[in-house]
Amino acid sequence: MKPYQGLLHFVAGLRNRAADQVLSTDSGKRARESKKTEPEDEELVLLPLKDLVLFPNTTIPVFITHQHGIVAVEESLKRDHRLFATCILDNTGQGIPPPATRAGEEGGSGLIFPVVGTAARILQRLRLPDGFIRVILQGEYRGTIANIRSLPVPPGGRRFSGPEDRVHSYNVARIEAIPGIPFGTGDTARLAMIRAIQSAFTHYADLSKKISSDTINAVERTENPERLVNLISNAMAIKTQKKLELLSIRDSETRLETLLETLNLEIEIYSVQRNISGKVKSRMEKSQREYILHEQIKEINKELGRDTAEDEFDDLEKAVEARNPPEEVLTKAQKELDRLRKLQPLSPEAGVLRGYVEWIRDLPWSEYSPDSVDLALAERILDEDHYNMRKAKDRILEFIAVRQLGAAGSGGPAGIKGPILCFIGPPGTGKTSLGKSVARALGRKFVRISLGGVRDEAEIRGHRKTYVGALPGKIIQSMRRAGTMNPVFLLDEIDKLSGDVRGDPASALLEVLDPEQNSTFTDHYMEVPYDLSTVLFITTANSLAGIPYPLLDRMEIIEIPGYGDHEKLAIAKQFLVPKELAENGLADAKLTITDEGLREIIRYWTMESGVRALEREIARIFRRIAREAVKKNFGAPPGKPLSGFKRTIRPADLEKLLGRRKYKRDVVFTEERVGVSHGLAWTETGGAMLPVETRGFEGEGELIITGNLGDVMKESARIALSWLRSAGENYRFRLNIAKTDFHIHVPEGAIPKDGPSAGITLAASLLSTLCQTAPRPGIAMTGELTLTGRVLPIGGLKEKLLAALRNGMETVILPNGNRDDWEELDRDIREAIPVEFVENAEDAFALLFGTGIHRRGA
């Protein structure tokens, strides 16, 4: 260690305590004798101090490292140990430039002297081995520089050897003292200002934690305002420019007010810093504090002979074992629990593992709800909830019967696999509610998920648990919600699935809906097989067209056709009217709708295969009547009892209650027209009439097709024209088919139309145009026409017949291949409208046109 390093440590310690140390007026004889207070004029050596402001009544240690300062101190020692300390600024400040120095001298290059400084006495000087010196300065009074002059350093005066001994002059200045702040004991306003400053400084010292107790005591004891300002200005950790401002203010009131404003500003800054630091520290230490508390609780529990964390893990393990999962699942859960025990409770991985084990604990692994084996009860429940739907109900009853016979032989409920049913039908026909009725009839839990718009495979299979916020897919989530291994699971709107870059959910369902695979369904999150083989899956769809074939192949299709007027009437009377009476507060009223009134609503205010719109219209009627009953003072006390309200709704009342009729018949011509024939179409909302119009004009045998037709329907029109050309020798054409252009149009061109079942209708319209003979009115037809003239069977038979019936058709021509389908229809539909079955086009045209269009001998 160098010999002066110990001294430097001592000086550093002295600076920490003595930098703010105040020498009292009775601090020593030498100080009392030498103290000068505000002399008129005197000339003192200038000592430049960099970034350091000396105030009167304060003592500070200063290290002098530049040659000008060392020379100034040495010359001051010859002048009664007194000098004038001023803080040097750069050349942008306001002050007095020093006298010119010789070329190469230090101190005159850009530095200026402020006009204000402090006269000071050198209390102690210590020369250091490296040539620098340390002095302790005591401030005496404030003063301003009147003028500066430069004096040469005497040749024998440089009694030291510095690192760069080349200074030949020093500066002295004539000083004019700045008067101190006057104070009298009777000056209450100034005394109040002093008390406010002392109080603010006490608050400041409490916030900063850097003010020595000696300084605080000195400030609290003093009543001299000049001394007070000097002590506080020296103690405050503020910028040098602000200290110079406080040193240079001449007006006493302004100086006190500036000091108080500075104190209040620093207090506010410290308060904001403390608030910000507290918030940041609170956030940073929260996790550490929780960790320490958890560790302390752990140690306390150990001392008490119990470990809460271990108890919790043991309880979790016992809960998993109580679920009786397969051995593979139990081994996986125990492995994850062992990993969990080794982790800190607050670590992110611990939360992931805990959530995973809790999912295993919450899933049903061996819980089964007992199935109802009472066929009569199940049938009664199904009939209570839904009208007709014979095929679907029969299939459920068959499953119950097989379940009853097979349960005893298989040894338990897990022995029989659940079927995969798919209910296909128009909207509003009760497919979803039928799934709920199936669950009630079987005595099972019911869960439902909607697949409409699902386009992410992870919605079915889940995310791997390494992802943040990962969860199992909808299948596993629904199984936990069900709580049993054999619920009725409804997958609604399966034809509305779609796929994108995130995967194909329809492909993910292949494993779920395959009875041979779903016993080992593996969710990405669970990573263990889960048995879905005993689940009764029911899917619903409006059309088979939106279901991929591999998925369709795994399901048992049960068609739920639209309702006819007779069925809608029965549903309205048995289900909809009682339901809406109860929901609209009219259950106690004597309110009825006549059968004819219901038929009018069905025909002219709704046009659908289901009954949703019918339910809404009935609800509208009852809301209007509820309002009428309230106006007549029926209902809540003190009004008249609702049982006294009577009303019968007849067809004549409907326009007043529902407004004008919304629907009329389809575009159907009741009179005979050449080139016009009437087909039948199936839509997702039911059946509809499909009129076809054809006109012929001179040309080259071209075919123009309009009406927003699809490719299949356009091909049917070309097939019809080709067949007529080949069979022209059998009919009396009045137009030359080779020199006539034909324009086929299907009205309501804004509606897209497609399908092959209009083939016979298109051919009939073309034949009527060629023969200039109108078909018989009141006849509708449907069937696919081949190039050889055969008429093939079609789908949607019930909906098409209902459309013909609704539009007043007298006869319907059907393909002979649909005879079995017709015989399965309800008796009221079969008896409502006559049908004619045909095998080929000639038979159909004979019914439409008679024999007048045939050639003799044909």
Catalytic residue numbers read 757, 800
Q: What are phi and psi of 350, to 5 degrees?
A: -65, -40
Residue 742: strand pairing partners = 696, 703
Q: What is the dihedral of CA 707, 710, 711, 716, to 10 degrees?
A: -60
For helices 327-341 and 348-362, the axis angle rounded to 10 degrees is 150
Helices 612-631 and 595-604: crossing angle in degrees, nearest 10, is 120
How far does CA 554 lie from the centroid of its chain? 36
| Phi and psi, residue 706, nearest 5° | -135, 170
Q: Report which of 428, 422, 427 is spatially closest to residue 392, judged by C-alpha positions.
A: 422
State the number of CA atoms in the 13 A half-sphere of 411 facing the CB.
Answer: 0
d(CA 59, CA 412): 99
Enter the tokens of residue 202. Answer: 């006490």
Q: How far apart are CA 742 and CA 770, in angstroms?
A: 9
33 burial (CB, 10 Å; 0-12 / 13-18 / 19+) is: exposed
Closest to 167 in 3D by CA, of 157, 182, 177: 157
The neighbour count for residue 302, using CB atoms within 10 Å, is 12
Q: From start to end of 406-553, where are the E strands?
A: 420-424, 446-450, 488-492, 521-522, 529-530, 536-541
Measure the CA–CA gap between 506 and 211, rounded to whole angstroms.
Answer: 75
Tokens representing residue 378 in the block:
């199940």
CB atoms within 10 A of CB 338: 12
DSSP H or E segment with residue 623 = helix 612-631
Pairing of strands 536-541, 488-492: parallel
Partnered with residue 120 across adjacent β-strands are 83, 139
- Determine the Cα–Cα distance for residues 564 and 503; give it in Å rounded to an integer: 41
Distance CA 403, CA 514 (A): 19
- With a CB cutoff of 8 Å and minimum separation 6, the contacts of 499 are 455, 457, 505, 506, 507
Q: Which residues contact 565 (CB under 8 A, 6 or more apart)?
A: 599, 602, 603, 802, 805, 806
Dist. CA 211–CA 209, nearest whole Å: 6
Q: For residue 152, what are the β-bridge partners?
A: 169
Tokens of 503: 């995967």
Q: Which of 430, 445, 443 is nearest to 377 (CA)?
A: 443
What is the 8-class DSSP label of residue 172?
E
Residue 149 CB contacts under 8 Å (≥ 6 apart), including other chains: 99, 171, 172, 173
Which two tokens mark 486? 């054999």
Query: Distance between CA atoms of 330 and 812, rounded to whole angstroms?
Result: 65
